[in-house]
Amino acid sequence: TNISSPTDVVAVMAPILLGKPQEEFWTLNLNTKNRLISKRMVTTGLVDRSPVHSREVFRQAIAQAASRIILVHNHPSGDPTPSSNDISSTKLLVKASQVVGIEVTDHIILGFPSDGQPGYASFRELGLMKDPFDLMVS
């Protein structure tokens, strides 16, 4: 499976994550051509948050020689809008990615579609991530 857009991520992950009663945080490990190597649940959390540690996020990606990863998690509330905790934890993971040399290409949050709005939020589409290794949030 090739992953070239947030909608590709949604197609792969929505059947797994939508309707879950608590947050689950996953990574999609990709090769240099954006081909999916594997998907992995890193952590499962509470109704409103899922603690994530960089060593767990990058462990499998390093072992599989992935060149990039996409972060994915769900919001059981249905609203995919990134929280301040989502933004700060993503910023820390992007910093860690610089050390291990694995690009974080996006962070997708899945929710329920409503009022014609997408059922996901993409950090890249929202302008929160500009370039690889660059999270545009202070």
User: Is residue 69 within 8 Å of residue 103, measured between CB atoms?
Assistant: yes
Which pLDDT value is given to residue 83? 93
- Asked whether the beta carbons of 52 and 25 are under 8 A apart, the reply is yes
Which residue, 76, 13, 29, is CA-closest to 50? 76
pLDDT digits (tens, 9 = 90+) for 70-125: 999 999 888 999 999 999 999 999 999 999 999 999 999 999 876 655 699 999 99
**pTM of the complete model beyond 0.85:** yes
User: What are the phi and psi torsion angles at 108 (to 5°)?
Assistant: -110, 130
What token pair was written down for 87?
A: 């933004």
Q: 3-state DSSP call for residue 114?
A: strand
Query: Residue 134: its pLDDT value, please?
Result: 45
pLDDT (tens digit, 9 = 90+) per residue, 42-54? 999 855 555 688 9
